Amino acid sequence: MKAPEFSYVKPGSLGEVFDLLDRHGDRARVLAGGQSLLASLNLRLSEPELLVDITGVPGLSGIAVSGQTVRIGALTTHRQIETSAQIARHLPLLAQAVRNVAHAAIRNVGTFGGSIALADPAAEYPACAVALDATFVLAGRAGERRVKAREFFRGLYETALNPGELVTAGEFPLAGAGYQSVFLELARRHGDYAIVGLAAHALVAGGRISDARLAFLGAGSTPVLAVRAAAAIEGRQPDAQAIAAAQATLAEELEMLADLYSSRATKLHLARVLLGRALGALAA
Ligand SMILES: Cc1cc2nc3c(=O)[nH]c(=O)nc-3n(C[C@H](O)[C@H](O)[C@H](O)COP(=O)(O)OP(=O)(O)OC[C@H]3O[C@@H](n4cnc5c(N)ncnc54)[C@H](O)[C@@H]3O)c2cc1C
């Protein structure tokens, strides 16, 4: 299928973007890397009159470390994240996760902000942002505001973005001393969206795990922070008993949605397998 007819504009400033979004309301859509939006147009899942291409807006791209924060601009591509020495050093969870985002051709143009704004529950960055307690910077005509990742994802493809607002950046606290990260996912083929995945980040000392942030993807309509599983493992070594106790909490905590290929029971089983592997790997 071909996309319906639409107009296209490439403004050179945020002010112009806000003017266009004000004027056209929900008849306009923001275009970043286009890797999800153009596919949805071609499938006629969306029929906007105007695409507002934000790739000409300066200041929205790049990775910068300042103080205790890594800032990732919305237009930073998956490829830039994948090849960044700063991400590898300061956000090893994201460095592991990005290798699972789609295929190389898509990673070359798809953007961080596009993935966050799309809020696919099986996407890698949203779960990492929740595990790492990141904050998103949102900007609109009324100015800038910051929203915690844990409050940003509201429902299936639903976020805290107001009409006319953009994601301009993500701010991630630097990984603290002694923290370890493990990202795991199961997909039908490498590069496909995950069936289930887990972004795990925890303090590990003397083989014991504490302050575990276990964010699942593909396990509900948003990323899910498994707080009961974290409590079950708190202060313990991940031996078979501790892992089983953490795994046992998942049935209550994860609101698994069946998809075309996997039942809820299969997905729950896979989530338990990933949790066991991740807890073992964190303390290894
Ligand atoms: C075959 C295939 C496999 C894929 N596999 C994966 C995968 O495994 N994991 C994964 O995470 N992703 C996957 N993707 C999606 C890919 O990562 C996209 O790049 C990403 O989801 C959207 O980024 P984009 O820059 O292309 O956004 P676009 O397609 O340009 O936009 C996506 C949506 O976000 C909005 N938007 C974009 N930028 C902003 C912004 N800054 N502020 C507010 N709204 C904005 C747009 O209006 C649109 O609604 C896959 C895509 C394809 C085609």
The pLDDT of 170-196, averaged and rounded, is: 93
The CATH classification number of 179-283 equals: 3.30.390.50
Residue to substitute in 118, 158, 190 for testing ligand 1 pocket (most ligand atoms within 8 angstroms of CB) = 118
Percentage of the chain lying above the pLDDT 70 cut: 100
What is the position in ligand 1's atom list of the atom closest to the CA of 31? Answer: 30
Residue closest to 22 by CA, chosen among 191, 164, 210: 164
Q: What is the whole-number distance in angstroms between the Cα of residue 84 and the centre of ligand 1?
A: 20
What is the position in ligand 1's atom list of the atom closest to the CA of 60? Answer: 41
CA distances from 63 to 67, 68, 92, 171, 223 (A): 13, 14, 14, 10, 24
Residue 130, pLDDT above cutoff 90: yes
Residue to substitute in 9, 17, 29, 30 for testing ligand 1 pocket (most ligand atoms within 8 angstroms of CB) = 30
Overall pTM surpassing 0.85 (yes/no): yes
Residue 192, pLDDT above cutoff 90: no
Report whether CATH 3.40.250.10 matches the domain 63-173.
Answer: no
Task: Return the SS3 of 14.
Answer: helix
What is the position in ligand 1's atom list of the atom closest to the CA of 38? Answer: 29
Q: Is the CB of 34 under 6 A from ligand 1?
A: yes
Domain(s) labelled CATH 3.30.465.10 in the chain stretch across 63-173
Q: What is the whole-number distance in angstroms between the Cα of residue 35 and the centre of ligand 1?
A: 5
Q: Is the CB of 244 under 6 A from ligand 1?
A: no
The pLDDT of 135-153, averaged and rounded, is: 97
Tens digit of pLDDT for each residue in 22-79? 999 999 999 999 999 999 999 988 889 999 999 999 999 999 999 999 999 999 999 9
* Cβ(201)–Cβ(180) below 8 Å: yes
The upper half-sphere exposure of residue 114, i.e. CA atoms within 13 Å in the direction of its Cβ, equals 24
Residue to substitute in 37, 51, 165, 192 for testing ligand 1 pocket (most ligand atoms within 8 angstroms of CB) = 37
Q: Is the CB of 232 under 6 A from ligand 1?
A: no
Q: Go through 10-40 and write b for each residue having 16 or more CB atoms within 10 A of its CB, e for each that does not.
A: ebeebebbbebbeebeeebbbbbbbbbbeee
- Angle made by CA atoms 67, 93, 278, in degrees to the nearest 5: 140
Q: What is the whole-number distance in angstroms between the Cα of residue 234 and the centre of ligand 1?
A: 35
Q: What is the dihedral of CA 48, 9, 154, 271, to 10 degrees?
A: 90
Domain(s) labelled CATH 3.30.390.50 in the chain stretch across 179-283
Query: pLDDT band for position 229 (50/70/90)?
Result: very high
Rounded to whole angstroms, the Cα distance separating 203 from 225 reads: 16
What is the position in ligand 1's atom list of the atom closest to the CA of 166? Answer: 42
Q: What mean pLDDT value characterizes the chain?
A: 96
Q: Nearest 5°: phi and psi at 144?
A: -110, 145
Q: What is the whole-number distance in angstroms between the Cα of residue 238 and the centre of ligand 1?
A: 36
